[in-house]
Amino acid sequence: MDSPETFILLANAAILLCAYFIVYPRFAGSDLNRLALNDLAANAIAIAVAGFAFFGTGQRFDLLFLEVGWFGFAFGTFLLMELPLFVWYARRYGLSGARED
């Protein structure tokens, strides 16, 4: 592995690809509440992977203009990587913010 940043970015990418192309279509579909719960689990897995690798090491991560710890880097990059996937998923499955009661 070239850098700790690469490790976290690859782990995040693998988690997001599994989530958006395997887990979410099967378990959430177009249900926004189920999607949110599944996404919370995916984010927790990403944080856990980074934590197992870097907790207690004092390792700093370069996030463009600032240095952050493992948690900030894992969480921030996960959200940034997820945004285009969520937009694609929302369009594909017809998600909207309107609630149907």
pLDDT in tens, 10-35: 999 999 999 999 999 999 988 999 99
pLDDT at position 12 is 98
Give the global pTM.
0.88
Write down the pLDDT at residue 100.
Answer: 53
Residue with tokens 């719960």, as numbered in its chain: 37
**Residue partners of 4: CB distance under 8 A and separation at least 6:** 53, 54, 59, 61, 70
pLDDT in tens, 29-87: 889 999 999 999 999 999 999 999 999 998 999 888 899 999 999 999 999 999 999 99
pLDDT level of residue 98 (50, 70, 90 thresholds): very low
Strands (DSSP E) along the chain, which ranges? Answer: 61-63, 66-68
Structure tokens that stand for 51 in this block:
């934590």
Per the CB < 8 A criterion, the answer to whether 4 and 61 are in contact is: yes
